[in-house]
């Protein structure tokens, strides 16, 4: 069968079982397959079995506790339970209760089908849009606000009921107004977004008995309250007595119990036991039951000590609402109880507000006992709670009915016992053992029944209550009630009562009528009830309840003795003088303060709170509130809802809370916090602080120096021109809006961007990206590897620790880096203008039209652009890259490396041992001081190592070298003929290396020697010795008396300027050293004399005739 839930969705039951049943009884693991499986946990032993479903529609049968494991999407699965309480495991869709022992069924977050048994069940679908199927018994359907729209099938109007929690319904008339007949079904609109559908039901067939609603506290009046700030016994003037006994020695002890009721004065055989089962911790009473140990022999064999409290002889009441807020203990053998006994000594009757059995303390028992028929009879109901948490347990006792409540929601109802005719007093105890809970076992240990408070209220049927020996009748027979000098509880009737609390901390309830109430000294509570009441608290910290527009509250300063006073108003209300605190309750909409310092608190309806004068604190509720602080330094808290908040005059602090709020600080220096929601914040005049909080907010500081907190990318800031110096602290990437001057990044924020003004930007510990935009900006990046770009304008940029990158585009830009023990990192500047690196910045890259780039005392890397750059490394061991363009690079001091790049570059190494690399183009490389390395690269380069032992490599092209040190080296490679024709200018005696063609002596050099190539060798003004070596060389002596030397490997050489004192040394032609001049041939050629010898080369002397030569016998030829 298919079902349809309250949201209109069809829900399916599991398919038929295809695989045989797998039964598990010993704690082992049973695993299904891809079919529709049937898996059973039989529960023969104590071990917990594990049932694992497969991919089909699996059915799990639980006869005992078991772990059920089902994967998401693994079919439509069903749990069939035979245990008392069952909650659907994750990913299991449906639950069916079977057998007489099952009682409570709970769904999960899926859309479930829950089916009751035939003896009475409580079904709670939980989250999701569920289907709840009633059975033949008396069933309860539990619905909570916010847990989906459910549908109920087989609902029997004659016996079944629906429990509504959190919806705020107190009577059936309210609920019936929300009902609609839709065909055969009844649809109840529980809230704007939640409904329940009762299938096959008629609206007119439903009645109040079909619904368990919330307690209407507005119809109750407090008569007793114990908050357990301390335990005050009757002997100390309080309400509680601590009875003791065991083995049936008092009427609070059931036969079979093994716990002895004791207190701190209990003794046995004149021996003080020193056991106190009562303790107070932060306003919570604990009754502790623990093993008696060696004390058992002094307790008639009782194995546990425990405690009981009662208000017998101190407080009792006939009819009313009795409530306890408590946490129940867990452990086999424990039986905590809060119950009522008749003050006239009869038993039965007895009324049990809450009882539980310790090993299943999540099952709550609510009972009444009577002897009206002549014999003891009892009626009892159960429900389920999460006993690990505190709950309120209450019972409303009227003439006709007993109605039980848990956490303010009805859970059970019976007729009142007809023999419950007297006042009843209260009992709180923690029993141990007995036939019902059973004896404790080895797992029990120590247990605590924790009680937060006990309260008693009068209802419309309450006739009387007795407090500390004085009986109060709630009717019109006592129009004037006067208290004592102690702590009194005064209650009026339907008439115009007059009450005087006198001294003490009194509680006064006027009831109906126009009452007059005077609290007197002490911290009093005054509640006039219906009617226009006059209430005067007197000295002390007083509390008023106002429920009529005609109520009047009077407080006087009395030299400060008037105390701190509070009003709870269920109507619109304005505080009177000398009353400090106002809280709206009920249907009140408006609350107004005084000229004093007030606290105003809204309810959940959407209120208007106005502080007026004084330094006020205003708290909004869950509705859409208007909060106006007025004059004074106020604090406003919006709470939930879409609130409007106005600070007014004074130095105010405003918190929006949840919702989309509008917050206006007003005049002076205010602090505005939007919190959750899309808020609008207006600072107004003054130096304001604005924080939008979560979500996308709008913030406008107005006039004054404002401070903004930004935490969402959707935050918007509006500032107008001339409205002061404004700052932003942002935890997200952010761009300053117009007319905001300062930005500080915090938290995970990375990027900060300025505007057209003169901004100050601060980074954080992350790797930030700061962009100044227009204006003269100041930027401080802080920790991390940051990027700083000041934009247009003269900017001041400080990177801080880390490897930072700067962009400079204005000659007045300033970059600041500190050494900071080396933590300053490796920093780089990209400059589109001529730029000199500041201290502690290592790297410079020229961009755009920048021409000049200068380093500092650090080891710099400087990179040019496509322009004709001039780069200077300065001090330090620098690396310079010229890039494109005809660049000039100066290494400066230190051991530098210079790369010319493309273009015809000029490189100056400086004083250190430098490396100069020309790269492409016709470059000039000058080493200056130090032992330098010069590499010409492509192009016709000039290489001058300067002083020092230099290494020079010309590379491709026609290169020129300058040699001035005997340890200078020149390297040329053949390189497939691309090496070009290379020349050396030597200021020292020099021998050409391989692949270098030409040599010219300069300076004081005297001797020049060629190589195997066809060399051009040129002397200087001195008397040079020139040896062309192998190859066909062209030799020029220059000025001076030069000697040209030839050897056996000489080729066909040419001397261009043989004259005067020049000589030709031919001894190298004669291998044996003997000069045989007869072998020489000297003839005139086309251009001059030619000297030759068979087997050797020749020498052509340009412009010189043979007859001008003089041949010496020792192998010399001179010019005659």
Which residues are known catalytic residues? 350, 355
d(CA 542, CA 893): 87
Could you give the dihedral angle defined by the CA atoms of residues 706, 707, 713 and 714, in that order, rounded to the nearest 10 degrees? -40
For residue 620, what are the contacts with CB-CB under 8 A and spacing of at least 6? Answer: 602, 607, 609, 627, 636, 637, 638, 639, 640, 641, 643, 645, 657
Q: Give the three-class secondary structure for 40.
A: strand
- DSSP-based helix, strand, coil % in the chain, nearest 5: 5, 40, 55
CA distance 702 to 555: 41
> Are 348 and 417 contacting, i.e. CB atoms less than 8 angstroms apart?
yes
Listed in sequence order, the residues at least 6 apart from 472 whose beta carbon sits closer than 8 Å to its beta carbon are 223, 464, 465, 466, 478, 481, 489, 490, 491
- DSSP secondary structure string, 714-765? T-EEE--TTS---EEEESS-EEPPTT--EEEE-TT--EEE--SS--EEE--S
Q: Which residues, in sequence order, are CB contacts of 355 under 8 Å at separation 6+? A: 335, 336, 337, 338, 339, 364, 365, 366, 367
Asked whether the bond before 348 is cis by omega within 30 degrees of 0, the reply is yes
Are 860 and 898 in contact, with CB atoms under 8 Å apart?
Answer: no
Helices (H) and strands (E) in the chain, counts: 1, 113
For the chain, the first-to-last Cα distance in angstroms comes to: 138
Dist. CA 929–CA 946, nearest whole Å: 6
Rg (CA), the chain: 53
Measured distance CA(417)–CA(86) in Å, rounded: 34
CB burial readout 775-813, b (16+ within 10 A) else e: bbbbbbbbbbbbbbbbbebebbbbbbbbbbbbbbbbeeb
Euclidean distance between CA atoms 941 and 928, whole angstroms = 16
How far is C-alpha 856 from the chain's CA centre?
Answer: 45
The CA distance from 837 to 846, in Å, is: 11
Neighbours of 1010 (CB within 10 A): 27
Q: Distance between CA 393 and CA 449 in Å, rounded?
A: 13
Question: Nearest to residue 621, comparing CAs of 610, 609, 633, 611?
Answer: 609
Q: Rounded distance, CA 546 to CA 532, Å?
A: 9
Beta carbons of 619 and 566 less than 8 angstroms apart: no
Q: How far apart are CA 856 and CA 893, in angstroms?
A: 10
C-beta of residue 841 within 8 angstroms of C-beta of residue 856: yes
CB 790 within 8 A of CB 809: yes
């Amino acid at each position: 069968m298919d079902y349809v839930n309250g949201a209109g969705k069809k829900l399916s039951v599991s398919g038929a079982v295809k695989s045989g049943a797998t039964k598990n009884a010993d704690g082992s693991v049973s695993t299904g397959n891809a079919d529709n499986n049937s898996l059973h946990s039989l529960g023969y032993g104590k071990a917990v079995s594990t049932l694992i479903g497969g991919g089909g529609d699996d059915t799990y049968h639980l006869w005992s506790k078991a772990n059920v494991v089902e994967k998401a999407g693994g079919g439509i699965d069903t749990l069939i339970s035979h245990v008392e309480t069952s909650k659907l495991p994750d990913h299991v869709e449906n639950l069916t209760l079977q057998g007489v022992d099952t009682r409570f069924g709970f769904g999960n977050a899926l859309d479930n089908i829950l089916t009751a048994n035939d003896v009475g069940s409580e079904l709670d679908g939980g989250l999701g849009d569920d289907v709840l199927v009633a059975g033949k018994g008396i069933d309860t359907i539990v619905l909570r606000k916010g847990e989906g729209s459910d549908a109920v099938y087989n609902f029997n109007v004659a016996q079944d009921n629906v429990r509504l929690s959190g919806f705020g319904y107190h009577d059936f008339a309210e609920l019936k107004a929300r009902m609609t007949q839709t065909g055969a079904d009844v649809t109840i609109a529980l809230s704007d977004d939640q409904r329940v559908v009762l299938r096959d039901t008629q609206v007119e067939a439903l009645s109040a008995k079909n619904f368990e609603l919330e307690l209407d506290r507005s119809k109750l009046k407090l008569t007793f309250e114990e908050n357990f700030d301390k335990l005050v016994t009757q002997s100390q003037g309080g309400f509680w007595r601590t009875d003791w006994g065991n083995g049936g020695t008092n009427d609070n002890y059931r036969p079979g119990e093994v716990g002895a009721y004791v207190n701190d004065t209990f003794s046995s055989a004149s021996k003080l036991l020193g056991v106190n089962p009562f303790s107070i911790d932060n306003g919570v009473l604990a009754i502790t039951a623990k093993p008696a140990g060696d004390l058992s022999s002094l307790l008639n064999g009782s194995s546990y000590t425990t405690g009981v409290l009662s208000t017998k002889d101190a407080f009792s009441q006939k009819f009313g609402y009795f409530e306890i807020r408590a946490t129940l203990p867990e452990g086999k053998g424990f039986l905590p109880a809060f119950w009522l006994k008749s003050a006239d000594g009869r038993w039965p009757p007895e009324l049990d507000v809450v009882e539980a059995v310790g090993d299943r303390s999540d099952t709550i028992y609510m009972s009444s006992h009577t002897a009206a028929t002549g014999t003891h009879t009892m009626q009892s109901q159960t429900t389920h709670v999460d006993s690990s948490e505190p709950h309120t347990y209450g019972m409303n006792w009227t003439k006709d009915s007993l109605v039980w409540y848990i956490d303010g929601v009805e859970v059970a109802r019976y007729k009142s016992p007809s023999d419950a005719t007297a006042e009843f007093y209260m009992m709180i105890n923690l029993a141990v053992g007995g036939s019902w809970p059973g004896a404790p076992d080895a797992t029990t240990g120590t247990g605590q029944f924790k009680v937060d408070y006990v309260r008693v209220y009068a209802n419309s049927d309450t006739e009387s209550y007795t407090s500390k020996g004085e009986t109060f009748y709630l009717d019109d027979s006592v129009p004037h009630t006067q208290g004592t000098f102690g702590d009194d509880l005064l209650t009026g009737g339907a008439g115009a009562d007059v009450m005087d609390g006198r001294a003490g901390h009194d509680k006064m309830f006027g009831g109906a009528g126009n009452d007059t109430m005077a609290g007197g000294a002490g911290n009093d509570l005054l509640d006039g009830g219906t009617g226009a009441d006059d209430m005067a608290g007197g000295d002390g910290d007083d509390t008023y309840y106002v429920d009529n527009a005609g109520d009047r509250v009077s407080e006087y300063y009395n030299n400060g003795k008037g105390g701190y006073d509070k009003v709870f108003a269920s109507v619109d209300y304005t505080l009177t003088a000398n009353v400090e605190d106002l809280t709206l309750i009920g249907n009140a909409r408006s609350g107004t303060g005084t000229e004093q310092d007030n606290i105003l608190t809204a309810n959940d309806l959407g209120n208007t709170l106005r502080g007026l004068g004084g330094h006020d604190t205003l708290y909004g509720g869950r509705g859409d509130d208007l909060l106006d602080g007025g004059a004074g330094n106020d604090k406003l808290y919006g709470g939930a809802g879409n609130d409007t908040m106005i600070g007014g005059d004074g130095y105010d602090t405003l918190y929006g809370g949840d919702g989309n709020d509008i917050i206006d600080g007003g005049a002076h220096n205010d602090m505005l916090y939007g919190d959750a929601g899309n808020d609008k914040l207006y600072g107004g005049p003054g130096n304001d602080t604005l924080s939008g909080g979560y979500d996308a907010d709008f913030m406008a500081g107005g006039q004054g120096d404002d401070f903004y907190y930004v935490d969402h990318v959707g935050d918007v800031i509006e500032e107008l021109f001339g409205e002061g110096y404004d700052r932003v602290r942002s935890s997200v990437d952010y761009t300053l809006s117009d007319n905001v001057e300062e930005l500080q990044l915090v938290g995970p924020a990375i990027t900060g961007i300025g505007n057209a003004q003169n901004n100050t930007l601060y980074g954080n510990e992350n790797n930030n990206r700061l962009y100044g935009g227009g204006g003269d900006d100041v930027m401080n990046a802080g920790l991390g590897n940051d990027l700083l770009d000041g934009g247009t304008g003269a900017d001041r940029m400080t990177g801080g620790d880390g490897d930072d990158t700067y962009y400079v585009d204005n000659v007045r830009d300033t970059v600041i880096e500190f050494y900071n023990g080396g933590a300053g990192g490796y920093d780089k500047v990209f400059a589109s203008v001529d730029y000199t690196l500041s201290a502690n910045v290592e790297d410079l890259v020229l961009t755009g039209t920048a021409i000049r780039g200068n380093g500092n005392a650090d080891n710099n890397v400087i990179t040019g652009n496509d322009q004709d750059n001039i780069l200077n490394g300065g001090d330090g061991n620098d690396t310079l890259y010229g890039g494109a363009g005809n660049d000039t690079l100066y290494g400066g001091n230190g051991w530098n490396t210079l790369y010319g790049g493309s273009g015809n570059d000029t490189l100056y190494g400086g004083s250190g041992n430098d490396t100069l690399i020309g790269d492409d183009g016709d470059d000039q490389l000058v080493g200056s001081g130090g032992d330098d390395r010069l590499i010409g690269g492509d192009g016709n380069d000039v290489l001058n190592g300067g002083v020092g032992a230099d290494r020079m490599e010309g590379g491709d092209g026609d290169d020129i070298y300058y040699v001035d040190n005997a340890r200078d080296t020149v390297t040329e490679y053949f390189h497939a003929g691309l090496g070009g024709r290379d020349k050396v200018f030597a200021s020292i005696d020099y021998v050409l290396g391989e692949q270098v063609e030409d040599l010219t002596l300069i300076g004081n050099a005297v001797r020049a020697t060629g190589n195997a190539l066809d060399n051009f060798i040129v002397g200087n003004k001195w008397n040079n010795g020139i040896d062309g070596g192998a190859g066909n060389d062209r030799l020029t002596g220059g000025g001076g008396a030069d000697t040209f030397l030839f050897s056996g490997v000489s080729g066909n050489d040419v001397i261009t300027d043989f004259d005067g004192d020049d000589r030709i040394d031919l001894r190298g032609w004669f291998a044996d050293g003997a000069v045989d001049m007869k072998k020489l041939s000297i003839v005139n050629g086309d251009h001059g004399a030619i000297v030759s010898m068979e087997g050797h080369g020749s020498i052509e002397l340009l412009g010189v005739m043979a007859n001008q030569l003089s041949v010496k016998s020792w192998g010399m030829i001179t010019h005659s």
